[in-house]
Amino acid sequence: MLAKYLVRRFFASVIVVLGVTLITLLLMDRTRGTYVPGIDLNPNLRPDDIERLRANLGLDRPFYVWYLTWLWNVLHGDFGRSMIDGSPVTSHILDRLPNTLELTGTAILLGVLISIPLGVIGALRRGSKTDHTLTVVSVAGFAVPQFWLGLLLILLFSVTLEQHGLPWLPSSGATSPLGGGDVLDRLEHLVMPATVLSFFYLSLWSRFTRSSMLEVLSQDYIRTARAKGMGERRVVYLHGLRNALIPLITLVGLELPGLVSGGLVVEVVFGWPGIGRLLFERALQYDYSTVMGVTFFATLLVVAGNLLADVLYAILDPRIRYA
Amino acid sequence: MSILGQTPATEIEAPISTFEGAATRHAQSYWNESWERLRDNRIGVAAGALILVLAAIALAAPLFTLFLTHYEPYGIDLLGTFQAPGHPHLLGTDELGRDTLTRLIYGGRVTLGVAFLTVGIALTVGTTVGLVAGYYGRWLDDILMRIVDMVLSIPAIFLFILMSILFRPNPITLAMIIASVGWGGVARLVRGEVLSVKQRDFIMATRSIGARDVRLIVRHLLPNVLPVLIVAASLGVGQIILIEAALDFLGLGIQPPTASWGNMLTNSESYFFHSIWLVIFPGLTIFVTVLASNVFGNAVRDAFDPRLK
């Protein structure tokens, strides 16, 4: 039963990924006819030079040839070369990936580690001042624009502290340009962007843990556990929290693709050399192959993340039927 | 508890309602009930009122600039750049000497307009697809839902960036770009509702007295998915404002000189050292608006969602 369900989900996922590549390339096809990436670097090119360039980059081929060639190469592990600088797209992605994972991984980890206790506290002390405060903070976390929060942090911890001659945090990049790169230096750069990003996850998951916990605590088996004289601590953590976390796992699983794309705005604000900023900059330059490669990569992760969340959920919650 | 919680409240009465009028009569009482619940939520009502006030200010922008701020949104004053908040510029001026308050008011037109338009488009398309997929089922459902999967599998921000670069948006196309992802979630939601409503006896009864597909969908399915739609719409506005602001901030949305809350922040890093208000006020406006939308959305959900009882 489970195996059949998994196979079906897998093939559905493959179709989805193929469809996404088609949609993305169709979108880009719209500008392909008139544009040569990098042409703005040299305005002195003659028309026949442009023709030759376009042919070199494969931009003169009909759409279906373009798409099928791309697909064929990707299936063989070849993401092509950047149309701007000629280096392999794969190396661009691998270059940026560790930085992005460092940022988003930290944010997601912080989010999970802080939100679960906060959610439990909110549920256990429902209606208390602490609960209300936590609610207000998480409602605010939903409403604050990430890029603005980033700007405010830079204003406060980089600009203002520096103006007053106090120790300040670097506002841009993942390492210092000169002599940077050790652990402390990376941490200094990581603090602000990771805070901004985790604030969002924190708001999302602490609310969710709270309501999930409240629901679980009202279940019959909790009453049974209490009735048989089990200690409150064990009731809450062993029976309550364990069951309350099951839906949270799905939710976190759905955010896993955010490991690659979720930090885009934060990366741009903090000049973080990650995947998101790579896509943003290369899209602005019409670097089709890089854009396709990054989008394909990120989509694969989304689909894999969804699949993983489904599977985990099916394993963890035996009540789920594989329909 | 949880079984009841998952069952739409309408189901209890549904089996009795074999006649067409019955569904409408029931819906009436549901609306009254929900409306009263919403009215009793004071914070929710206050948030909703704030949104209305902001929308009214945006609509009446020319009046405000005529009688309150006395400036034009594009009125450049190169001798009066970076003036601090106070008199005569209540919220100061920007790098071209334009009045910040005036631009915020006009920016509200664009930002709120795009947000409401986006919700409208996403709801219309999503509802239609969801109703059709859920009602007809089978291969049509498979195809439509796979398309939804595809749209929702591309990281949304990637799609927004690609489309914004390729289509150079004005407010209307920007709304279409954001809605091009938003409809997917709505379609899924509506389809799920339709699948459960479709099972009920009154649908079969209606069909057995000879109602056509279109009538069944519009008169009987749609009213039953309306609560979910209202909730989705009111919860969605805040998120859409955030997305739009981020795109504008990145320079991919509304293009200067047209003011929007997001693009007023685009180069604000360069004002950190002398004109903090240019960073504070637009962001604060976005924050307060989204906050009010979310609080109102939550209140609407608590009042209208039949599954939350």
- The DSSP-derived string for A105-131 is HHHHHHHHHHHHHHHHHHHHTTTSHHH
Residue B242 pLDDT level (bands cut at 50, 70, 90) = very high
Whether the CB-CB separation of B260 and B254 falls below 8 Å is answered with yes
Q: Considering only the beta carbons, identify the residue of B2, B153, B294 that sits closest to A302.
A: B153
Q: Considering only the beta carbons, identify the residue of B147, B246, B295 that sits closest to A145.
A: B246
Our separate counts of H helices and E strands in chain B read 12, 0
Nearby residues of A198 by Cβ (< 8 Å), 6 or more positions away: A106, A107, A108, A110, A111, A114
Residues 289-318 of A with CB under 8 A from B: 291, 294-295, 298-299, 302-303, 306
Please answer yes or no on whether A151 and B283 come within 8 Å at the CB atom. yes
Q: Give ∠ CA B248-B66-B106 in degrees, rounded to 5.
A: 10
How does pLDDT run along chain A (323 residues), one tens digit per residue? 677 877 888 888 888 888 888 888 888 877 766 666 666 566 677 777 777 777 777 777 788 888 888 888 888 888 888 877 888 888 888 988 888 888 988 998 999 999 999 988 888 888 888 888 888 888 888 889 999 999 999 888 888 787 787 777 777 777 777 766 677 888 888 889 999 999 988 888 888 888 888 888 888 888 888 888 888 888 888 888 888 888 787 777 777 777 778 788 999 999 889 898 999 988 888 888 888 889 888 888 888 877 877 777 677 766 655 54
**If we measure between CA atoms, which residue out of A290, A302, A200, A295 comes closest to residue A258?**
A302
pLDDT score for A194? 92
Q: pTM of this prediction?
A: 0.85
User: How far is B137 from chain A, CA to nearest CA, in Å?
Assistant: 15
pLDDT score for B12? 33
Q: What is the mean pLDDT of residues B215-241?
A: 85
**Between the ranges A21-25, B118-122, B197-201, where is the mean pLDDT highest?**
B118-122
Q: Which residues of A touch B295 (CB under 8 A)?
A: 139
Residue B163 pLDDT level (bands cut at 50, 70, 90) = confident
ipTM reported for the complex surpasses 0.90:
no
Judged by a CB distance cut-off of 8 A, whether residue A28 touches chain B is yes
pLDDT score for A6? 78
Rounded-to-integer distance, Cα B104 and Cα A74, Å: 47
Indicate the CATH number of B31-68+90-308 among 1.10.3720.10, 3.40.50.720, 3.40.50.10800, 2.40.128.520: 1.10.3720.10
pLDDT score for A110? 92
pLDDT score for A37? 66
- The SS3 assignment for B88 reads coil
Chain A interface, mutation test: which of B142, B165, B237, B260, most A Cβ atoms within 10 Å?
B165
DSSP A88: B
Reported as half-sphere exposure (CB side, CA atoms, 13 A), residue A96 has a value of: 28
Q: Which residues of A touch B272 (CB under 8 A)?
A: 154-155, 159
- The angle that helices A146-153 and B222-249 make with each other, rounded to 10 degrees, is 30
Sign of CA dihedral B185, B188, B192, B198: positive
pLDDT score for B187? 92
pLDDT score for B129? 93
Please answer yes or no on whether A19 and B146 come within 8 Å at the CB atom. yes
Percent of chain B's residues with pLDDT above 70? 84
Please answer yes or no on whether A16 and B163 come within 8 Å at the CB atom. no
pLDDT score for B262? 85
CB atoms within 10 A of CB B63: 11
Whether the CB-CB separation of B212 and B153 falls below 8 Å is answered with no
Q: Which residues of B touch A215 (CB under 8 A)?
A: 2
Rounded-to-integer distance, Cα A80 and Cα B117, Å: 39
pLDDT score for A46? 76
Q: What is the mean pLDDT of residues B130-149?
A: 88
pLDDT score for B5? 29
User: How far is A142 from chain B, CA to nearest CA, in Å?
Assistant: 8
pLDDT score for A167? 77
Q: What is the mean pLDDT of residues B135-147?
A: 88
Residue B291 pLDDT level (bands cut at 50, 70, 90) = very high
Q: Which two tokens stand for residue A54?
A: 């376009």
Chain B interface, mutation test: which of A29, A31, A142, A172, most B Cβ atoms within 10 Å?
A142
pLDDT score for A41? 60
Whether the CB-CB separation of A281 and B174 falls below 8 Å is answered with no
pLDDT score for A183? 78
Domain spans, chain B: 31-68+90-308
pLDDT score for B1? 26
Rounded-to-integer distance, Cα A277 and Cα A67, Å: 25
- Residue in A closest to B271 by C-alpha: A155
Ranges A287-291, B23-27, B117-121: which has the least confidence = B23-27
CB pairs under 8 A between A and B: 128
pLDDT score for B20? 45
Amino acid at B10: T
Judged by a CB distance cut-off of 8 A, whether residue A6 touches chain B is no
Please answer yes or no on whether B294 and A142 come within 8 Å at the CB atom. yes
Residue B7 pLDDT level (bands cut at 50, 70, 90) = very low
User: How far is B272 from chain A, CA to nearest CA, in Å?
Assistant: 6
